[in-house]
Amino acid sequence: MDLKIIHTADVHFDTPFSGLSETEKAAVRRQDLRTTFSTIISMAQNADMLFISGDLFDGRTVSRTTLDFLKREFFKIKHVKVFIAAGNHDCFHADSVYATFDFGENVHVFGTEPEVVETESADIYGISFQTANEFRELLPRFQVKNPAKMNLLVMHGNLMGEGYNPVQLSDIETCGMDYVALGHVHAASGLKVRGTCFYAYPGCPEGRGFDETGEKGVLALTVSKGHVTAEFVPVQQKMYVSTSVDVSKAECMEDIAKQLNGALKEPQNMYRFRLTGSSSFPIDTEVLKSGIDAFDVSVIDETVPAVDLEQLSREFSLKGLFTKFALEDRANMEAEAFELAFKTGFSILEKEERNEN
């Protein structure tokens, strides 16, 4: 019989969202996380199990609102078994919510030693981090009891082979599990297989900053003995979108504003615009920001001054000399690195010139 499983991780409830420009927006994003989780719960309605592979909470302190919310959500799927393994952000210890709060009868939180929950269809193994810095190697501690059954493992861990619970590919290959449901890495890995063991990071279901751009989701798994298929299902409320816009052709601020609004496709998202190219007039990023109607916007000016570099390099001045040397180095540099280096140097010299005057 096939098992239907929803696999999520790194929800990070009660995350402060400090990267946003206003505190009210952070509150909206915390609510977004709840809405996203409700979406996951709706998906789990039609599944047999829900796996949560660590960092369900962002920190050790969890708000009452979040706990009550979770209890209600888990109750909605009381016919579905929920398995939670604590991660580095929400490690399991005597005072943690995992030890003190009752999440409901259908919810199992793994302890800090290898554990197995035997169900009719499969054996579900799991373990929680016991400290935020869990440097034990946890996977080699597991021994599959019944190789003929479906054996699944829920665990937070770092497949990069270093740091928190380092997970070795060679151990995945020999662990005897049919699927290892990982958490920790916030980018989705896609379904992987090593030997006969499938494994995956679903990534976080909702981005928390511009280092977590694009679609975020969960894995809808179909598991049978020795075989797993996975569908990545986006569930995010809002995406972080980072875009570069070349403003070399703009003649005034209004032109840039038009370009940015043209690049704005889904105003519910968080946008970061990087202005590139050259500009012959000063750019006020605050003015540009205020003219864009998106949930949150940041504008970063990476343009270089529109000057005739060849002509400037012949000028007898500090700026002229700087430009001359810069142009000599240009051939050996990446275009992006040259632009950044030139802009930085040039603007320092311009400031110096102003200070002297």
Site residues (CB under 5 A) for Mn ion? 10, 55
CB nearer to Mn ion: give 129 or 346: 129
The least CB distance from residue 48 to Mn ion, in Å, is: 25
The least CB distance from residue 65 to Mn ion, in Å, is: 21
- Distance from C-alpha of 217 to C-alpha of 224, rounded to nearest angstrom: 22
Minimum distance, C-beta of residue 11 to Mn ion, in the bound complex (Å) = 9
Nearest residue relative to Mn ion (C-beta): 55
Nearest to Mn ion of 14, 55 (CB atom): 55
Is residue 29 classed as helix, strand or coil in its secondary structure? helix
The least distance separating Mn ion from the CB of residue 153, rounded to whole angstroms, comes to: 18
Q: Which residue has the tokens 């290892």?
A: 180
Whichever of 128 and 279 has its CB closer to Mn ion, that residue is: 128
Minimum distance from residue 55 beta carbon to Mn ion (Å): 4
Q: How far is CA 216 from the centre of its chain?
A: 8
Measured from the CB atom, the residue of 183 and 339 that comes closer to Mn ion is 183
Minimum CB distance to Mn ion, residue 24 (Å): 25
CB-wise, 73 or 90, nearer to Mn ion?
A: 90
Q: Comparing C-alpha atoms, which of 82, 108, 58 is closest to residue 5?
A: 82
Long-range contacts of 91-98 (CB under 8 A, 24+ apart): 91/60, 91/128, 91/129, 91/130, 91/131, 91/132, 91/134, 92/128, 92/129, 92/130, 93/130, 93/131, 95/60, 96/60, 97/57, 97/62, 97/67, 98/128
Q: How far is CA 143 from CA 94, 128, 167, 192, 196, in A?
A: 26, 16, 15, 21, 16
Q: Identify which of residues 88 and 259 has a Cβ nearer to Mn ion in the complex.
A: 88
